[in-house]
Structure 1
Amino acid sequence: MDIVVIGAGQAGASVVAKLRALGHDGAITLIGEETDPPYQRPPLSKAYLLGEMEAERLWLRSAEFYAENTIALRLGKPVQAIDPVKKTVTVGQEEIPYDQLVLTTGSVPRKLPTAIGGGLDGVYSVRNLHDVDAMKPEFAAGRRLIIVGGGYIGLEAAAVASKLGLDVTVLEMAPRILQRVASPETSDYIRALHQAHGVKILESTGLDRLLGDTRVTGVRLTDGQELPADFVIVGVGIMPATSLAERAGLEIENGIKTGPLGRTSDPSIWAAGDCASFPHGEGRWRLESVGNAIDQAEVVAENIMGANKPYQAQPWFWSDQYDCKLQIAGLNIGYDTIVTRGPEGDAVSFWYYKGDQLLAVDAMNDPRAYMVGKRLIEQGKSPDKTLISDLSVVLKALLKA
């Protein structure tokens, strides 16, 4: 059985490694658009951008791993088309046959329209190694950076820029930063953290356009105010990379639509990672995280090998900003109550409940709260809210209740 995997990121690397670990002895080909081997993306907007991590330390596996496991790496050449009838993928002038195909195409950043200056020089996104390498020289002390979008990527870039001595302003159109993904309590904590480091955060602030002829020189806000900028980073979210799947006729629903096993509408094609949506409860989820990319990809590999194992997502996320480590367990969709534990020193956690059900935990500098919360959610346990807020209660004891 010949297996082709399109997308050489975290999910793609996880699929091929798991297939070999499970004893698959047929051909495996991993195809990626970038020239670099599969690498970690989270450090791009943190340690790598700060200059604290070399590129080679980003690699998920050594080059020797792929050679030793006879995994053919096809890098630097995007796939033009999938032919589900002939069961081939086209790369350049070559057609590569497959018995089973896995799409791990990831996601692409949302761009500002060129009509409002999105195509000017000095305007960057943070999505891949090339993006970060291109913007690195801009990070010099005293320069003025404007970040469009108050999500995690933008805020992580703001933290790096502030550490390096830049003058940083974050523009957020919504009433608060992180509004789509976090509680007001978490937003307040992160906002105060950035303000303490000199970052200016402008919420409920719309962007009219970027200024400049060929290179960005500033921004004009929707209220007419103009702010100068030496460069701009756009962090307004990502979209699942589905164009290849759409052209192949696969069903799309908030990403490439998969069933519980990870199979798409074509029985010979599977999908995993940022690009894939999957059934959960009465709805569908699509998770943008390292944890999901690994877990979902490994389940797909198991199912290609005949496991018939439904994917059960256990969401977790993290973000590093300054000396704060934010760890998130679960998904807060539909919460109606926030329970605060702490602060204890610089540690605090926010626990999301829907009625009496624990949904998620945001833990700032509190790995114990994160680990206990994650295990409680995985076990389907929801402690009484008063126990969470009572600092005299040992959190670990709640796992035995």
Structure 2
Amino acid sequence: MSTHRKIRMGMIGGGLSSFIGIVHRIAAYIGEEYTLVGGAFDTDYDKALEFAKKLELDPNRTYPNIDTFIEKELELPAEERIEAVVVVTPNFLHYPMAKQLIEAGFNVICEKPVTNTAAEAVELEELVAKHKVVFALTHTYTGYPMVRQMKAMIAEGAIGEIQKVDAQYYQGWINPVIHDKEKRASVWRLDPAKAGQSCCMGDIGVHAFNMVEYTTGLKTAKVLSDLNTLYEDNPLDIDGTAMLRFDNGVRGLVRASQIATAEENNLRIAVYGTKGSLKWEQENPNYLYHLQEGEPMHVLKPGHEYNSEFAAISTKMAPGHPEGIFDSMANIYLGTAKAIRGEEYIDGAFPTIRDGVRGMKFIEAVLASTADGNTWTEIDD
């Protein structure tokens, strides 16, 4: 537990009807590093006030919109002002709201996708550097202890030189609606005005891509993709595969689908090296599988002394007590808190705006590759 005072936190969005808002609040509370002070929780101000009353928040720090939030908070003395703002609005609002907050000097914790375009992400990266604020992007899966153990083992050479990377994220949630014309026309994630340029790759494929670069430390140089909208009147992809070539010549694969019937959140990654391989899956996150030629498979679990320092500080419970998505998100919040306070933290403690830029450039590259007839397309960086 930190001996420092808690960071004053605000939220844009995340009110009564928000599932992801609850996830963020629980994650922030787990490490006892933050206290929720106020925010602009809903476009309906009455609902925002109802939400504030439910959480016993000061109604005077509950604002009708982000403009009022910024104006009124900046009028307060620095020692009372909200320090970190969580953006949990629909996708198309991430960029304009994050931009406003950064320019006003607030630290930002933002849901992904960070923006609708790569150019917007690059602009935010420049603004973060200019205004010297902390920006965390909640690629939640990077917070799992065994993902961090995987990252540490690969960096230490436990599997030798990387030869192949295979990541997938399969869901089936859209299958019940996609085959009905009226239903698919009513899903906001299939509306470019609200979801952005991509549905499947933008929503979950980018998570798999992020996991590839996070765990391996490799940088993707180019992609060749094949995306599927299934129906001509459906504007956004709901399934796709992207082959990757990294800057050192190694090959990889990202597979993503939202029509993988009956799948839930089947995110998996396997990294194969010259000396062995490591495999992890999100639906059983406490197990990291280490395979070596001629050896029994080793299964690593959180909370044990054989794990790295990074995995150890990311584990909150004794061995045998499962930790899940809230704990993973909490580790990102913990790393962000250290950065806000100017304390030392391990590289990779939270995804940054750089991860957001990389993710948006990946999304645009796979879209361009498919549009160009499935050709190799560079990720310009």
Q: How does the TM-score come out when normalised to structure 1? A: 0.27
- Bigger Rg, structure 1 or 2: 1
User: Which protein, 1 or 2, shows the higher relative CO under an 8 Å CA cutoff with sep ≥ 6?
Assistant: 2
Q: How does the TM-score come out when normalised to structure 2? A: 0.28
Bigger fraction of residues in strand = 1
Bigger fraction of residues in helix = 2
